[in-house]
Amino acid sequence: MPENQSATTVPRTAGVFATTHWSVVLAAGDTASPQADQALATLCTSYWYPLYAYLRRTGQSPADAQDAVQGFFAHLLQNQRLAAVHPARGKFRSFLLTALRNFLADERRKQTAQKRGGTVITIPLEVQTAEERYRIEPVDRRDPETLYERRWAMMVLERVLERLKAEAADARTAERFAQLQPFLLADDASPSYAEIGRRLGMTEGAVKMAVLRLRQRGREIFRDEIASTVASEQDVEDEVRHLFTVLMN
């Protein structure tokens, strides 16, 4: 999918609520809102793996990394830290990593080893699945911060694929998406347009056009996902360039 990004502003898709949206962050910070707990759960589900991978790369064990991420998100809600967060402060990606570091530093200073529970919300993180994912990923010698950013970029791509797949609502469209997805990811092992055409009962030209439209929609969703975590249109452009640089290196 990596292609030169258009500088044209892409409007948000009506009716689509990305789990990375700043609105979720603000809702999680509003402890008076009945949606606050669910908003925090949404945040954890969306963002916890890049943080988990970061902590694992710093040398923490799977159990310690799990406890740290769980405690960090509970800390954000319990102490109303998210109430002070606002899109104007910049990229949520950067805020989250800085907040995690501060949380860990505070924990070390306080030397707290107490178990978290009771009235504190527990988020059901899929730790075993994440650890398996972490172990089977290609060996990456980069520093924890660079690894965090790469996992973040990969997470955005995963969100794009999830939304594209969700848009393929009926069985026929879902089958077409499954056949065209390798072209979206620029997979060198992709079958030819002619072969896909035979499978789908389409001409080669029609397949090329369908791939072009899918890539365009993918770029729109990619920008939409990024726009959900930054403060301005210029920040979107900067973040698009940065994340593609991270993915290419």
Tens of pLDDT, residue by residue over 164-179, are 999 988 877 899 999 9
Q: Within a domain: residue 95? A: yes
Instruction: Write out pLDDT tens, residues 6-42.
Output: 333 333 333 333 434 556 666 666 666 666 666 666 6
Residue 59: exposure state from Cβ atoms within 10 A (0-12, 13-18, ≥19) = exposed
Amino acid identity for residue 47 in this structure: Y
Tell me which DSSP letter residue 87 carries: G
Encoded tokens for 157: 């791509």
Q: Within a domain: residue 126? A: yes
Report how many domains make up the chain. 1
* Predicted local distance difference test score (pLDDT) of residue 155: 86
Phi-psi region of 114 (alpha: psi -120 to 50; beta: other; left: phi over 0): beta
CA-closest candidate to residue 119, choices 80, 157, 172, 78: 78
Q: Which domain holds residue 74?
A: 22-248
Q: Within a domain: residue 9? A: no
